[in-house]
Chain A
Amino acid sequence: MPKTPPLVLRIDGVTKRFGALVANDAISLDLRAGEILALLGENGAGKSTLMNILFGHYVADEGTIAVARDGGAPEPLPPGRPGAALAAGIGMVHQHFALAESLTVLENVALGTRPVWSPSLRLGEARARLGRLMAESGLAVDPDRRVGHLTVGEKQRVEILKVLYRGARILVLDEPTAVLTPGEVEGLFAVLRRLVAGGLAIVFISHKLGEVTAIADRVAILRGGRKVADRPVAGASRAELATLMVGREIAPSRRAPRAPGPPLLVLDAVAVPGERGRAGLDGVSLTVHEGEIVGIAGVSGNGQGALAALLAGTGPRPGGRATLRGAAIGSGPGAVMRAGIGRIPEDRHHEGVVPSLSIAENLAIESLGEPSVSRLGFLRWGAIRARARAAITAYDVRCPGPDAPIRLLSGGNIQKVILARVLDRSPRLILANQPTRGLDVGATAAVHDRLLQARERGAGVVLISEDLDEILGLSDRVGVMVRGRLSAPEPVEGLTLERLGLLMGGSPEERAA
């Protein structure tokens, strides 16, 4: 009989209701030492609720959670006590890091590990122990650097080290790859494999199917608060998992063949200086035709930001020539918008919407001076609300109503509001900057369909994305940005992941060209 690794965590029949909503419906889950369990589900499926119960932030209405120590029998965890979860060896890395930026790595790791009133921090001991942990896990960070100076990937390493330092045996990672570049994701996965080989158990929360199949041993799928599947990853196809997660089949967005129209956006040797370590634009030439999606691939920080700022009118005046339908692109977001460019910004929470304003107000905000929204300097509330209600229906925005503050919406629904605002103006050119980052499968499909519809209508789309599947699935032509330079866009037919990877690395052949 093959030896099964010891059980470390047993979630048994956990139910949690918020009023009429059943967020978790009798969920049971086992976790064994040395395995990576992927917890898969759309936004709102109940993943966060379950983890909040596990950590004692919420108390379950029914069911128990038990943790086993050193191969012993599982002992029930007292509900509603975050301290007990920590003491039982459960550690969590949140999507939004909980780090003090002006403190050093070492100080962040040591925070809270000694009794508050003890007279000494014993930083020397902490340093030695952290050093050993880094060597064992392969997570290397300079312990004396200030966390504020680290990259996102390094900050994540500090968060994992914090959890390990506290002796965690169960590591919960909430959407750990959402903020990482493809290279950093590879590094993270290597570390995770090493950690489970050492006996740690990992819960990997995600809605990205590709990652789940790449890293997890087992996958549990939540939908509408229920566990709908719990199976080994081996032998599971992505389509199968997606169907289980969404509850219906997701037809992959199909790009119908379409002959591109006349040139729309023409950039000719455009140059913008870089700033603060981020690349600018170094002689970028690009033509986008009507009815065409041009994908811009590349690791972030290679000039995509400068290109997006140029097309959004928020950047400095560029060198070279940039024209839309033959007329020079003005500067300033207003001028750019009037010229017919619609933008889907990269950071939807900070640049896309005003969080405390309502959905209706956020939808109206780009058209304030226009007759559809205001007359004689007064807002036309009737028209604004009617328009919001129409958009909510047309774009399937899940929300309490047009007057709800937009900050209460999930990322996917905020993105749908932004799409509605941009597409309502029938822009000639759409700048879509990381349009589906952090969105679940359903919302991603909705965004893709809308972009393809705009293309059908004859709009041109500049699609900036780090998601290569997205780039290859939507684009007619694809260019790659490396250090502020853009490779000549190639037709997507015949373009492979290998070829893109080569271009992203900045191969010598391309540099010479």
Chain B
Amino acid sequence: MDAVLDILLSASFWAAAVRIATPLMFGVLGALICERAGVLNLGIEGIFTAGAMAGWLAVYLGLDLWSGVLVAAAVGASLGLVLALLTVPLGLSQHVTGIGVTLLATSLSYFVYRVALPNVSSPPRIQPFAPVAVPGLSDLPFIGPALFGQTPLTFLALALFAVAAFVLHRTPLGLGLRAVGENPAAVESAGLDVHGLRIGAVVVGSAVMALGGAFLTMAAFNAFFFEMTGGRGWICIALTVFASWRPGKALLGALLFGAFDAFQLRLQHAVGGAVPSQVFLMLPYLLSIAALCTVARRADYPKALMVPYLKGQR
């Protein structure tokens, strides 16, 4: 019990929780934007990988870090456009298309990596984003190091949440987006462009997802590995349901998952070899399943999620 308390009371634990949560924040926000507009984006895992590879490679080839972030977002947006064109105007199955985009984006990333760097054995490194100090806040005891010793990408994620929440609930664009995920016929009859809104949402959402991948190679680590996304995209899909498609709850869900993950890492060290490490690795996933079962059973999902809108069909 003392071990648990020790973990929870250390500033470094909370710093790690926020750090681990950051890619999930981008991912869950991107998934949420797509799904509020009625498109399930299962390309997320591949978009993560592509964002991680593209952002890192751009920096490795000589661009500065922020340009690398833009490259990652642009790659994510392009993959989102592919998914959107297949699922929105053509109305193809969102499951099949999404998994297809994931396979395509993952393989393409590995291929480009191999072609760009044919002769490396150990992964080449870049100089990643460094933690920045927030004037005033970072100097607070405990809270400062715990929450404000993060890289700029974490603050970008938090800012994007604020922007998304504002746009969704306070602007005509957001209202149109929410309505198009509920009942495209209502949007059509209000004189708005159903396909335009959906394609736009998927492109923007995918760009945000790709930033989650970019965080992995450009802030959390400094290199690109195969399999480095490790299913984080799928976790984001589950977190979206957990969050009932609300930005505030989505942020909370990402932070909770990050905290569980950071916790199990430290618990492994504390408990030592008594329990197999796989049990600890399982912990966050078990908890997300439990959370889904309890919290999200009555979730108010977007009614037109995964329902293509094809004009004039009955």
Q: In the complex, which of the residues B172, B178, B179, B191 contacts A86, with contact meaning CB atoms closer than 8 Å?
A: B191
Q: A108 to B312, alpha carbons, bound, how many Å? A: 22
Q: A407 to B314, alpha carbons, bound, how many Å? A: 8
In the complex, the answer to whether B171 meets A121 with C-beta atoms within 8 Å is yes
Q: A116 to B300, alpha carbons, bound, how many Å? A: 25
Q: A57 to B189, alpha carbons, bound, how many Å? A: 11
Q: B253 in the interface, Cβ–Cβ < 8 Å?
A: no
Within the complex, the shortest CB–CB distance from A354 to chain B, in Å, comes to: 15
Interface residues as binary, A87-124 with B (CB distance below 8 Å gives 1, 0 otherwise): 00000101010111111000110111111111111000
Q: B120 in the interface, Cβ–Cβ < 8 Å?
A: no
Q: A115 to B312, alpha carbons, bound, how many Å? A: 25
Q: A99 contacts which chain B residues (CB < 8 A)? A: 183, 186
Q: B191 contacts which chain A residues (CB < 8 A)? A: 82-83, 86, 112
In the complex, the answer to whether A103 meets B185 with C-beta atoms within 8 Å is no
Within the complex, the shortest CB–CB distance from A141 to chain B, in Å, comes to: 16
Q: A113 contacts which chain B residues (CB < 8 A)? A: 172, 190
In the complex, the answer to whether A112 meets B182 with C-beta atoms within 8 Å is no
Within the complex, the shortest CB–CB distance from A486 to chain B, in Å, comes to: 35
Of residues 119 through 147 on chain A, the ones whose CB sits less than 8 Å from some CB of chain B are 119-121
Determine which residue in B175, B185, B187, B300 has the highest number of CB atoms from chain A within 10 A of its CB, and name it: B175
Q: A120 to B182, alpha carbons, bound, how many Å? A: 21
Interface residues as binary, A314-346 with B (CB distance below 8 Å gives 1, 0 otherwise): 000000000000000000000000000000000
Q: A119 contacts which chain B residues (CB < 8 A)? A: 171
Q: B298 in the interface, Cβ–Cβ < 8 Å?
A: no
Q: B185 contacts which chain A residues (CB < 8 A)? A: 96, 98
In the complex, the answer to whether A102 meets B303 with C-beta atoms within 8 Å is yes
Q: A96 to B184, alpha carbons, bound, how many Å? A: 13
In the complex, the answer to whether A112 meets B171 with C-beta atoms within 8 Å is no
Q: B179 contacts which chain A residues (CB < 8 A)? A: 100, 103, 107-108, 111
In the complex, the answer to whether B175 meets A120 with C-beta atoms within 8 Å is no
| Minimum CB distance partner of B303 in chain A | A101
Q: B149 in the interface, Cβ–Cβ < 8 Å?
A: no
Q: B58 in the interface, Cβ–Cβ < 8 Å?
A: no
In the complex, the answer to whether B172 meets A100 with C-beta atoms within 8 Å is no
| Minimum CB distance partner of B197 in chain A | A116
User: Are A111 and B186 also in contact (CB < 8 A) when A101-B303, A102-B300 are?
Assistant: yes
Q: B220 contacts which chain A residues (CB < 8 A)? A: none
How many chain-A residues does the 8 Å CB contact rule pick out?
29
Q: B82 in the interface, Cβ–Cβ < 8 Å?
A: no
Q: B283 in the interface, Cβ–Cβ < 8 Å?
A: no
Q: A470 to B190, alpha carbons, bound, how many Å? A: 38
Q: B27 in the interface, Cβ–Cβ < 8 Å?
A: no
In the complex, the answer to whether A111 meets B171 with C-beta atoms within 8 Å is no
Q: B116 in the interface, Cβ–Cβ < 8 Å?
A: no
In the complex, the answer to whether A112 meets B183 with C-beta atoms within 8 Å is no
In the complex, the answer to whether A102 meets B189 with C-beta atoms within 8 Å is no
Q: B70 in the interface, Cβ–Cβ < 8 Å?
A: no
Q: A164 to B179, alpha carbons, bound, how many Å? A: 20
| Minimum CB distance partner of B169 in chain A | A121
Q: B303 contacts which chain A residues (CB < 8 A)? A: 100-102
Q: B302 in the interface, Cβ–Cβ < 8 Å?
A: yes
In the complex, the answer to whether B302 meets A111 with C-beta atoms within 8 Å is no
Within the complex, the shortest CB–CB distance from A60 to chain B, in Å, comes to: 16
In the complex, the answer to whether A103 meets B178 with C-beta atoms within 8 Å is yes
Q: B281 in the interface, Cβ–Cβ < 8 Å?
A: no
In the complex, the answer to whether B302 meets A102 with C-beta atoms within 8 Å is yes
In the complex, the answer to whether B186 meets A108 with C-beta atoms within 8 Å is yes
Of residues 156 through 192 on chain B, the ones whose CB sits less than 8 Å from some CB of chain A are 170-173, 175-176, 178-179, 182-183, 185-192
Q: A112 to B188, alpha carbons, bound, how many Å? A: 9
Q: B176 contacts which chain A residues (CB < 8 A)? A: 111-112, 116
| Minimum CB distance partner of A55 in chain B | B189
In the complex, the answer to whether B186 meets A98 with C-beta atoms within 8 Å is yes
Q: A111 contacts which chain B residues (CB < 8 A)? A: 175-176, 179, 186-187, 190, 192
In the complex, the answer to whether B173 meets A103 with C-beta atoms within 8 Å is no
User: Are A116 and B172 also in contact (CB < 8 A) when A98-B189, A111-B187 are?
Assistant: yes
Q: A28 to B119, alpha carbons, bound, how many Å? A: 78
Sample of 10 further A-B pairs with CB below 8 A, known A111-B179, A115-B172, A121-B172: A57-B312, A98-B185, A100-B183, A102-B303, A103-B182, A107-B178, A108-B179, A111-B175, A113-B190, A119-B171
Residues of A that sit less than 8 Å from B by CB: 57, 82-83, 86, 92, 94, 96, 98-103, 107-108, 110-121, 162, 407
User: Can you report 26 residue pairs joining A to B where beta carbons are below 8 Å apart?
Assistant: A94-B189, A98-B189, A99-B186, A100-B182, A100-B187, A100-B303, A101-B182, A101-B303, A102-B300, A102-B303, A103-B178, A103-B179, A107-B178, A108-B179, A110-B175, A111-B186, A112-B172, A112-B191, A114-B172, A116-B176, A117-B172, A118-B172, A119-B171, A120-B170, A121-B172, A407-B314
Per CB-CB distance, the 3 closest pairs between chain A and chain B, nearest first, are A112-B190, A100-B182, A114-B172
